[in-house]
């Protein structure tokens, strides 16, 4: 089973690779760096029956979508298509997701794709067009939550990191099931939806969504939690089979 894991930055990609490698019985797994069109390099870990390709796409939904679409297309043209795409990295947590916990997305939501109106924010779908949500396979979300101990909830994709209690409250009011906020998931999901590849989002919580407090961010601990999640992920992925469409 070929899995593409898309992160924003190399530190997150390396945490994913660390986790998958540590999941092998022998603590070693063949690794390779593979060039993909567009000048990026993905890091490949062969851990039978999985081959995991980890790609650092850049920060934000546009960079994530562009790099994911490029990698998916290159794999398809190379007759080695991916069977799952995972958006992974650190993220902000909404209560009850504490720092260092992991969230698996029951829904991947574009939380600021729309328009400001006199009655408040209107999502593009309320304006009559577009998509604002992608749903990962429920059975896979359950299996991943069980295997990793992840909290299940919606993961919101934003283009601007929330920096106030008011904004956090507004997002929570519009998305009561939100567990985490990040900046790439919806871009990855849009790119995966085009060829019909299932998508998943996993976020390790580095900070609380709310007032900006850089000193409170716990990026190192979140990266360790991300590696831990990918240590326990392979058995859940190996036993999951996408229902025939
Ligand atoms: O200036 C700041 O307050 C600050 C300090 C550290 C990191 C940032 C980022 O903008 C990181 C964005 C990057 O990390 C993901 N991420 C992590 N936490 C959040 C969040 O609360 N809301 C949105 N994105 C978050 C995100 O996916 C990006 O890749 C800023």
Q: Distance (Å, rounded) from C-alpha 62 to C-alpha 65?
A: 5
Decide if pLDDT at 24 tops 90: no
Confidence label for 26 from pLDDT (cuts 50, 70 and 90): low
Residue 245: predicted pLDDT = 44
What is the helix (H) or strand (E) element at residue 113, kind and residue range?
A: none
pLDDT band at 130 (very low <50, low <70, confident <90, very high): very high
CB 147 within 8 A of CB 233: yes
Contacts of residue 144, defined as CB under 8 A and 6 or more positions apart, other chains included, come to 104, 150, 200, 202, 233, 236, 237
What is the position in ligand 1's atom list of the atom closest to the CA of 8?
29
CA of 91 to the centre of ligand 1 (A): 7
Task: Please indicate whether residue 187, judged by its CB atom, sits closer than 6 Å to ligand 1.
Answer: no
7 CB near ligand 1 (under 6 Å): no
Specify the residue for token string 């991943």.
144
Does residue 222's CB lie within 6 angstroms of at least one atom of ligand 1? no
pLDDT in tens, 177-196: 999 999 999 999 999 999 99
212 lines ligand 1 (CB under 6 A): yes
Q: Please check the confidence at residue 56 and state whether its pLDDT lies above 50.
A: yes
Can you tell me whether residue 31 is helix, strand or coil? strand
ipTM of the complex: 0.94
Does this model's pTM top 0.90? My answer is: yes
Nearest CA to ligand 1 atom 21: 92
Residue 96 CA, ligand 1 centroid: distance in Å: 19
Q: Is 241 in the pocket of ligand 1 (CB under 6 A)?
A: no
Q: How far is CA 143 from CA 97, 110, 172, 188, in A?
A: 19, 24, 26, 21
What pLDDT is attached to residue 218?
Answer: 97
Residue 66 CB less than 6 A away from ligand 1: no
The residue contributing the CA closest to ligand 1 atom 16 is 91
Distance 99 CA to ligand 1 centre (A): 13
Ligand 1 centre distance from Cα of residue 228 (Å) = 20
């Amino acid at each position: 089973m070929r899995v593409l894991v898309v992160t924003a930055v190399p530190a997150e990609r390396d945490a994913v690779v660390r986790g998958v490698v540590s999941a092998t019985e022998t603590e070693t797994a063949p690794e390779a760096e593979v060039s993909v069109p567009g000048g990026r390099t993905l890091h490949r870990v062969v851990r039978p029956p999985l081959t995991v390709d980890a790609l650092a796409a850049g920060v934000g939904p546009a960079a994530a979508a562009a790099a994911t679409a490029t990698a998916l297309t290159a794999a398809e043209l190379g007759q080695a298509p991916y069977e799952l795409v995972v958006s992974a990295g650190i993220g902000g947590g909404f209560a009850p997701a504490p720092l260092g916990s992991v969230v698996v997305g029951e829904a991947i939501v574009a939380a600021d794709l729309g328009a400001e109106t006199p009655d408040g924010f209107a999502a593009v779908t309320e304006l009559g067009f577009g998509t604002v949500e992608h749903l990962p396979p429920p059975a896979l979300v359950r299996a991943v939550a069980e295997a990793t101990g992840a909290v299940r909830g919606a993961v919101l994709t934003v283009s601007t990191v929330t920096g106030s209690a008011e904004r956090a409250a507004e997002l929570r009011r519009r998305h009561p099931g939100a567990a985490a906020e990040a900046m790439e998931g919806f871009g990855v999901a849009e790119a995966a939806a085009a060829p019909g590849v299932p998508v998943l989002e996993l976020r390790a919580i580095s900070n609380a969504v709310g007032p900006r407090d850089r000193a409170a961010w716990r990026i190192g601990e979140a990266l360790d939690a991300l590696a831990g999640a990918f240590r326990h992920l392979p058995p859940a992925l190996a036993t999951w089979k996408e229902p025939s469409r």
